[in-house]
Chains A and B, each alone.
Chain A
Amino acid sequence: MKRDLAVMMLTWEFPPRVIGGISPHVYFLSKSLVKQGLKVYVVTCDFPDAPSHEVIDGVEVYRIDSYKNPAPDFATWVYLMNLNMQKETAALTRKIGDEIDVFHAHDWLVANAGIGLKHVFRKPLLVTMHSTEIGRRDGLHTSTEKMIHETEAWITYEAWRVICCSEYMISHVKWAFGLPSNKLVMVPNGVNTLCYNDIDSDLKDFRSKFALPEEKIVLFVGRLVYEKGIHVLVNAAPKILEKVNAKFIIVGSGYMKEQLLNIVRGMRLEHKVLFEGFLDEQTLLKLQKCADVSVVPSLFEPFGIVALEAMAAKSPVVASDTGGLSEIIEHDVTGVKVFPNNPDSLAWGITKVLLDDNYQKYLRENAYTRVQEKYDWEKIAQQTKLIYEGVLGEYSKSFWA
């Protein structure tokens, strides 16, 4: 009998180490791949009190000492961490015998380890590009940024396939590194719907901490930075309040906070626009469930996971028509799309949703169905498995096989 397909995931973050979106992504992808019958190993950086080896939901997780070598700066730390990650993964791969079929790296943060292991063991390497340096910085301005960009180019060159989470990122990555189209493949990011099922259905008491019963809740979740477009929502607030009684709840923090507070004070809307800062996960999940509308007014958005979370929480979504959001939201079906950076357009979209209960219900149901159809981790794992199998089919005809 043929043994299970085995994948070695490389990631710099995995729960309980959570820095950004890669950690939950690799966690859900790995455990869903196990359900598809794959053998999944994850090698990641260490975290206080997390064991160096454990099995989580069938996934073999190994944590390496990521601070073994002193480092003068972040980028050099990344390369030094890769030294140790590569060494430990090489030893592990040898220990478990000739079993690993593919190496799957996540972002440039594990590029060196992934590339080295590919050549040492002569197995295919895949990379998921979650973001790019040129996109994050809006250009390449320093030697560090150029070095990171070239490292990203290097791993996309060495990888057999480059996975991106949206069509927008596919075209961005293709442009940034000059890749051929047939090397790129889109697999959407997933969203966990189960965490919302565990929340109490009776949220009346919880809701009353944030809004009066007659006030509709307009929710924003995101960093308070320019590219997230939070200033557009703040400027739309008085236009919305002319038509409907609402409370604006802003979750997250960022450098624009003081500036935004000043605008709100100038409008004399301190009682209508609440800045909550960071919230714990349970509170956030409950708020997403209570929200009468969730707003994603981003100006730049590679994927837009917060829109998916709102859809999974059955909260109607109003989002700007840009980046990954353009793909997630189908206008007038799974949400409302508005012009980016346009408070009038945003106010129109939010008002339209808030004034029509039937329309809200229609959007909620369509959106939830869409999430289950397209952004379900099991389906994403199936697609990923097919990509691995496709690569291994091509590999079997190469002189490395």
Chain B
Amino acid sequence: MRLIIFSWEYPPRVVGKLSEYVKNLSTQLAANNVEVNVVTYDDSITGSAQEPTGVQTVRVSNPVHTHIGVLTWVLTLNQEVERAAANIYYKANKQIDLIDVYDWHFIPAAVTLKNGLGIPFAYSVESLEDHRTQAVNTPYNLAIKSIEWLGFYEAKKISVKSEWMRDEVTRIYKVPKEKIVVISTASNSWIKEILKLYNKVAGGKIVNET
């Protein structure tokens, strides 16, 4: 299996807990014979990284330096994410099984790659705009929510880390519950469940549900 992970944070760039999680996940996947590519943001200030074995990492920087907010920053960075992903896709003879995208930032790229090249994606939810900015409904927050909604709508599967988050995604975005998979990081079978999710998204070999 060959996949690309999109994450706006990845070591050495650490914003929250997501960074270390994605690194751990990629390392584990590589150990399970998955060809892992990570596309992330190069902030050019946090120094060099010790790359985990078997994981290919591409760090892209923003072609537009001046911005008026996170939204414009994210939206211009997405084309670089697309460029990096397309380079991986063509180098691999157009054989990419799926994209796993973490949070809303790179949803636009995942959606374009799905519609243009037919690569399915999983949307892995770390947090939601509704929780980050509670009871705030400016056009700015609504725009971010609309990108989250687009991700839920276009994704083949959604993964969350708790039952509570599954209920929240269902409540806020009216996503059918069957589309959401709960995978607890504390579970012993964590990586197995991730692989099961990827198989479902890629539409490859059927794994029996237990």
Interface residues of A (CB under 8 A from B): 68-73, 75-76, 79-80, 82-83, 86-88, 90-91, 93-94, 112, 115-117, 119-122, 143-144, 146-147, 150-151, 154, 157
Contact = CB atoms under 8 A, between A and B. Distances in A.
Interface of B: 63-69, 71-72, 75-76, 78-79, 82-83, 86-87, 90, 108-109, 111-113, 115-118, 138-140, 142-143, 146-147
Contact of B67 (A68, A90, A116, A143): A143
B116 A117 contact: yes
A313 B140 CA distance: 48
B151 to A, nearest CB: 12
A116 B143 contact: no
A154 B68 contact: no
A115 B36 CA distance: 26
Given A68-B146, A79-B72, 16 more contacts: A71-B143, A72-B71, A72-B140, A72-B143, A75-B68, A80-B71, A83-B108, A86-B108, A90-B117, A93-B116, A94-B117, A112-B76, A116-B78, A119-B87, A121-B116, A122-B86
Given A75-B72, A116-B79, A150-B65, A94 B143 contact: no
B64 A87 contact: no
A90 B112 contact: yes
A143 B115 contact: no
Contacts of B117: 90, 94, 120
Contacts of B112: 86-87, 90, 116, 120
B143 A150 contact: no
Contacts of A116: 78-79, 82-83, 109, 112
A115 B76 CA distance: 10
A310 to B, nearest CB: 40
B115 A90 contact: yes
A306 B64 CA distance: 35
Given A90-B112, A94-B116, A94-B118, A147 B66 contact: yes
A68 B142 CA distance: 11
A154 B63 CA distance: 7
A377 to B, nearest CB: 32
| Listed residue (A69, A75, A93, A94) with the most chain B CB atoms within 10 angstroms of its CB | A69
Contact of A143 (B66, B75, B79, B87): B66
